[in-house]
Amino acid sequence: MEFDLLQNLATGFGAAVSFKNLGFALLGCLLGTLIGVLPGIGPIPTIAMLLPITFGLEPLSSLIMLAGIYYGAQYGGSTTSILVNIPGEAGSIVTCLDGHAMAKQGRAGAALAVAALGSFLAGCVGTVFIAAFGPPLAAIAQEFNSPDYFSLMVLGLVTAVILAHGSVLKAVGMVLVGLLLGLVGTDVNSGLTRYTFGVSELWDGIDFLPLVIGLFGIVEIIRNLEQPTLPRPQFSAKMRDLWPGAKDFSESWRAVLRGTALGSILGILPGGGAVLAAFASYTLEKKIAKDPSRFGKGAIEGVAGPESANNAAAQTSFIPLLTLGLPSNAIMALMMGAMIIQGIQPGSAVMTKRPDLFWGMVASMWIGNLMLLVINLPLIGIWVRLLSVPYRLLYPAILLFCVIGIYGTNTNIAQLVLCAVFAVFGYILLRFGCEPAPLVLGFILGPLMEENLRRSLVISRGDPMVFLERPISAVLLAATVAIVVLIVLPQFRRTREEAFQE
Amino acid sequence: MLRVRSPQDLGAGLVFTLIGLAGFYFGTDLTFGTAARMGPGFFPVLLSGLIIAIGLVLALKGVAVEGPPIEPVQLRPISFIVAAILIFGFLIESIGLALTAVLLTIFAAYARPEVKLRETILLGVGLAMFTVLVFVYLLGQALPAWWGR
Amino acid sequence: MKLDPKWLARCGALAMAAAVAQGTMPTGAQAQAYPNQDIRLICAFPPGSGADVLVRHFAEKLRPIANRTVIVENKSGAGGNIAMEYVARAKPDGYTIFVHAATAVAANQHLFKKPPVDAAKAFQIAASINRQPFMLVVDAKGPYKTVADLTEAMRKKGDKATYASAAPTGTIMGEIYKDVTGIKAVEVNYKTAPDSLNEMLSGKVDYGMHDPVFSLAQQREGRLRILAVSTATRLQANPDMPTMTESGVPMDLTGWWAAMLPAGTPRPIIDKVNQWFTEIVKSEETKTFLNGFGGDPFINTPDAAQALFLKAIKDWGDYVRLAKIMPQG
């Protein structure tokens, strides 16, 4: 097996390292980064927009370019999250939390560099996972039945509460509201619509993009505009200050490793795996930090961990697609569409019948990650300087890109109305001290949780023991209980202390 | 007269209670089902109930426990930004990206009192040219650049 | 040279005016020399989806034939209703072409209490594209080799039998199967067919009624076995797959895709679009492409296709009633 692996990688590198393919990889990375860095235009709209460019190329070249676009979009999205506090996708939301806080303290360079380096390391590990463990990992993912997914979602939702750095009660409330919002649309198990008020655009539920951009991006702009003086970036343009210091490195390398591990495993699971990875990493870092109160105010582990998790998951989420032919999330579905257009039927056949394609892609993943590191580190200086454009000129541009990103994905005015509605909603909630991040997690995981819960009960004909009978589900539920206990105990202690002080 | 000790908590409590009530009201015509065979209305009603409960607890806390005050709401930024978004949405199909980009920029700029009209229009035109070039021509997005489609 | 803001603004305005003059022409000129504008193919599903891949294939092939820019516009949502409404309201000038399953448009008339448009009056089929079946699939490791095997086993299982469905067509196929054979399987719904795979393989679900793309891919991977197809006659794409009818369950559930135009489009334009799509569908490349999707090329004149469409609207009303699917909305 070892020998084969090296042999295969050699084939792959041989195919991928041609001048032409390296050029396409570079082009893809650049385009992906440039579009992905535009605020409000996250990986999904970026890939959708750039997909047609890959059509005219031959299969391997187009896949390499597409992978480059994908990673570029991820890196670009992280950059936007840190610099402008606008997430382009679910996984970037946690990066905004501490990443932007660091940027406001003048440490944008360090944040970006740590994100880039952590992502690179995670990408390398992820690629190795695909190469060495692809099929066995995919086999594990195949073991997940509805009860297991339910338990996983419950675990994920509970971690959302730890995320919040304010009132736990409000965080729980936000998760529940997010869950409720996630129920809008057509119910899978019965085929009936819920909370759609006769509006056809709501039949498939509330789109993710308007919700996230409204709650985070637009609210951020509005909040900045309310300050007596517009934000002045405190960035130093000197390269020296853009680089993370020794302290930053020592604080973050462990977070990178943990994030990579989490992301590699969770990325394989279809439906929300990658999102969960970033959130879970943040939660983990916050929980085991010596001083959790730093989180939300610029703790570098809060950037290093989730970014690594995100990128590791981005890699391993290819596994179900490449080995089984099953896309595990919307981006993979796009990739699959791109492959089919090229005449490639993704699945295990690709590995055997066209090993040059499969291994060439794997090799180019590594190359792409390296290229992005090389591209992005110097670019950090440019992005930071771009931010020193006066805010009064910057924010209309940000607003315009956000709006184009939403409308371009789904040319329906309802999307923009929704965005505006969520902006107002997010504004009000923020005024009352409720953070939006738990809401988003509830929104994403909630419907999946409900769908799998009801489906499990239909299949088991109403027997709830099915959640404990299946080993995976039982383990996940036990972990959930453990975490709930961990949350609740300190609360008790604190309330008792407060009561004593009164 | 009750002294509101934590306006934020009270506000949050009210919002949650309202949301829960709305969820309840609009969810009751769905079948509830049983715990073993949940209908589409099971979760909506359950969640609404929980949200109302949290809302009430928060409201109580708002009256009983000290907390930070609510920052004053400024109507100008939020109104103009929301207006900018909606104007874009309602007009893009009729007058195209180039013009709506300019309009959006102008409306967004007026969210701050110290607007420089000439500079704003320049910015708008610049952004319009950039976005039309990149999104419509280079990337072939289905956004109309001009009117008359 | 001074960079006077006023001067710059004037230049910008002039540039824009010049661009406008070269831009899209007003529609007065539509009757002459069609096509003289960009053509948009409307897809009712998001980018990257199976449907999107198909529409993009046709966009690529149409470009050189029509000699114009062809853009794919995704208007997803509400099971296709959003796109339907959009196309029905579009100008009947041949520049907005709806590429979608005509049978899905027909089915939507009955799946919703208030369909957004009256399909029979709102659309004119310009050309049919392909015809494809739904498929009955089981775990490849399992013992069932024919529909008869499955039916016998399901009868024994009584109401412990379970089947997966991820689309209304699957439900309808499932209901017809139960109706004819008398088995009492419980339906389990999934958002997409791949979601059901794990449970079909672990034995929790006995069989599935799924779309051809998924079924063929999984059969190729060796994970599922296709027992029968839902069309009345066998497909050229897969001639060794028996039909449900042959296997004792008479049905003819054929989905067929078409290029549709808003009603009222002038006849010459309809014929032109028909000519284009027929040419594309006849090509070897497209034939292989369509076969990969589990379907056969399907060529008809606009009138023949329209007649089939009207028949489909009637038929699907019966199917939806039979499957006891409650109209939504």
Closest chain B residue to A419, measured at CA: B85
Structure token pair of residue C194: 């791949």
Span B58-96, pLDDT tens digits: 999 888 888 888 888 889 999 999 999 999 999 988 888
Residues 5-24 of B with CB under 8 A from A: 8-9, 11-12, 15-16, 19, 23
- Write out residues in chain A with pLDDT < 70, as ranges: 1-4, 163-165, 232-242, 271-273, 387, 491-502
Which strands sit side by side in the sheet containing C96-101, from one edge to the other? C70-74, C39-43, C96-101, C254-262, C123-133, C296-297
Give the distance, in angstroms, between the CA of residue A178 and the centroid of all CA atoms in the same chain: 17
Name residues whose C-beta falls within 8 Å of residue C14's C-beta, 6 or more positions apart in sequence: none
Q: Give Rg (Cα) of chain A.
A: 22
Instruction: Answer whether A349 sits within 8 Å of C221, measured CB to CB.
Output: yes
Which residues on neighbouring strands pair with residue C139, listed in sequence order? Answer: C224
Helix (H) or strand (E) holding C171: helix C168-181
Interhelix angle for A19-36 vs A355-386, to 10°? 40
Which of C116, C94, C120 has its CA nearest to residue C106? C120
Answer whether C219 touches A (CB < 8 Å): no
| Backbone phi and psi for residue C163, each to the nearest 5 degrees, phi listed first | -135, 155
Name residues whose C-beta falls within 8 Å of residue A443's C-beta, 6 or more positions apart in sequence: A178, A179, A181, A182, A206, A208, A211
Answer whether A419 touches B (CB < 8 Å): yes
Instruction: Give yes or no for a contact between A122 and A281, defined as CB atoms under 8 angstroms apart.
Output: no
Summarize the confidence of residues C196-206 as an average pLDDT.
92
| Backbone phi and psi for residue A182, each to the nearest 5 degrees, phi listed first | -65, -20
Q: Which residue has the higher pLDDT, C100 or A4?
A: C100
Distance of alpha carbon C222 from alpha carbon C233, whole angstroms = 25
How much is the pLDDT for C88? 93
pTM for the complete prediction?
A: 0.83
Instruction: Answer whether C48 sits within 8 Å of A51, measured CB to CB.
Output: yes
> Subunits that touch chain C (at least 3 Cβ pairs < 8 angstroms)?
A, B
Which residues on neighbouring strands pair with residue A410, listed in sequence order? Answer: none
Residue B53: CB atoms within 10 A of its CB come to 15
Instruction: Give yes or no for a contact between C153 and C144, defined as CB atoms under 8 angstroms apart.
Output: yes
Our separate counts of H helices and E strands in chain C read: 12, 11
Q: Which amino acid is at C123?
A: F
Distance of alpha carbon A214 from alpha carbon A237, whole angstroms = 31
| Backbone phi and psi for residue B129, each to the nearest 5 degrees, phi listed first | -60, -45
Structure token pair of residue A266: 């969770």
Closest chain C residue to B136, measured at CA: C71
Instruction: Answer whether B142 sits within 8 Å of C73, measured CB to CB.
Output: yes
Answer whether A195 touches C (CB < 8 Å): no
Please list, residue by residue across B63-91, b when 16 or more beta carbons sit within 10 angstroms of its beta carbon and e when fewer do.
eeeebeebeeeeeebbebbbbbbbbbbeb
- The shortest CB-CB distance from B145 to any of C23, C25, C40 is to C23
Q: ipTM value of the model? A: 0.92
Closest chain A residue to C195, measured at CA: A270
To 5 degrees, how large is the angle CA C77–CA C79–CA C84? 80
Distance of alpha carbon A461 from alpha carbon A449, whole angstroms = 18
Answer whether C327 touches A (CB < 8 Å): no
Span C106-151, pLDDT tens digits: 999 998 888 888 999 999 999 999 999 999 999 999 999 999 999 9
Residues 436-475 of A with CB under 8 A from B: 450, 453-454, 457-458, 462-464
Strand pairing class (C186-189; A193-194) = unpaired
- The shortest CB-CB distance from B148 to any of C8, C13, C24 is to C24
Distance of alpha carbon C119 from alpha carbon C88, whole angstroms = 8
Distance of alpha carbon B82 from alpha carbon A222, whole angstroms = 9
| Backbone phi and psi for residue B29, each to the nearest 5 degrees, phi listed first | -85, 5
Structure token pair of residue B50: 């929980």
Q: Which residue has the tokens 């570098």?
A: A300
Give the minimum alpha-carbon distance from A487 to chain C in angstroms, rounded to a whole number: 33
- B106 vs C contacts (CB less than 8 Å): none
Q: For residue C224, what pLDDT band results from cuts at 50, 70 and 90? A: very high
Give the minimum alpha-carbon distance from B69 to chain A in angstroms, rounded to a whole number: 9
**Best mutation target, A169, A404, A455, to test chain B (most B CBs within 10 A):** A404
Distance of alpha carbon A282 from alpha carbon A87, whole angstroms = 15
Q: Long-range contacts for C305-309 (Cβ within 8 Å, ≥24 apart)?
A: C305/C102, C305/C125, C305/C126, C305/C127, C305/C128, C305/C258, C306/C124, C306/C125, C308/C102, C308/C125, C308/C128, C308/C256, C309/C102, C309/C105, C309/C106, C309/C119, C309/C120, C309/C123, C309/C125, C309/C258
Distance of alpha carbon A69 from alpha carbon A76, whole angstroms = 10
What is the domain partition of chain B in residue ranges? Answer: 7-64, 75-138
Q: For residue C220, what pLDDT band results from cuts at 50, 70 and 90? A: confident
According to DSSP, residue A202 is labeled G
On the question of pLDDT at B20 being above 90, the answer is: yes
Answer whether A17 touches B (CB < 8 Å): no
Structure token pair of residue A468: 């404990």
How much is the pLDDT for A180? 94
Instruction: Answer whether C75 sits within 8 Å of A412, measured CB to CB.
Output: yes
Q: Which residue has the higher pLDDT, C196 or A133?
A: C196
Give all strands (DSSP E) within A104-229, no chain letters: 185-186, 193-194
A332 to each of A72, A414, C53, C77, how far by Cα in Å?
15, 26, 14, 20
Instruction: Answer whether B148 sits within 8 Å of C27, measured CB to CB.
Output: yes
Residues 31-90 of C with CB under 8 A from B: 40, 69, 71-74
Instruction: Answer whether A204 sits within 8 Å of C52, measured CB to CB.
Output: no
H helices of C123-167, where?
147-157
- The shortest CB-CB distance from A169 to any of B38, B48, B58 is to B58
Distance of alpha carbon A310 from alpha carbon A312, whole angstroms = 6
Q: For residue C326, what pLDDT band results from cuts at 50, 70 and 90? A: confident
Give the minimum alpha-carbon distance from A22 to chain B in angstroms, rounded to a whole number: 22
Which of A369, A163, A358 has its CA nearest to residue A280? A163
**Best mutation target, A399, A422, A443, to test chain B (most B CBs within 10 A):** A399
Instruction: Answer whether C9 sits within 8 Å of B140, measured CB to CB.
Output: no
Instruction: Answer whether A195 sits within 8 Å of B38, measured CB to CB.
Output: no
Instruction: Answer whether B51 sits within 8 Å of A453, measured CB to CB.
Output: no
Which of B76, B74, B71, B73 has its CA nearest to residue B115? B76
Span A35-54, pLDDT tens digits: 888 877 778 778 877 877 77
- B19 vs A contacts (CB less than 8 Å): 177, 180
- Collapsing DSSP to helix, strand or coil, C74 comes out as strand
Residues 323-352 of A with CB under 8 A from C: 324-327, 330, 333-338, 340-341, 345, 347-349
Give the minimum alpha-carbon distance from A436 to chain B in angstroms, rounded to a whole number: 13
Q: Which amino acid is at C113?
A: K
Structure token pair of residue B38: 């949940």
- C52 vs A contacts (CB less than 8 Å): 337
- The shortest CB-CB distance from A177 to any of B8, B19, B141 is to B19
Give the minimum alpha-carbon distance from A326 to chain C in angstroms, rounded to a whole number: 7
For chain A, percent helix, then strand, then coil, each to nearest 5?
A: 75, 0, 20
- A222 vs B contacts (CB less than 8 Å): 77-78, 81, 111
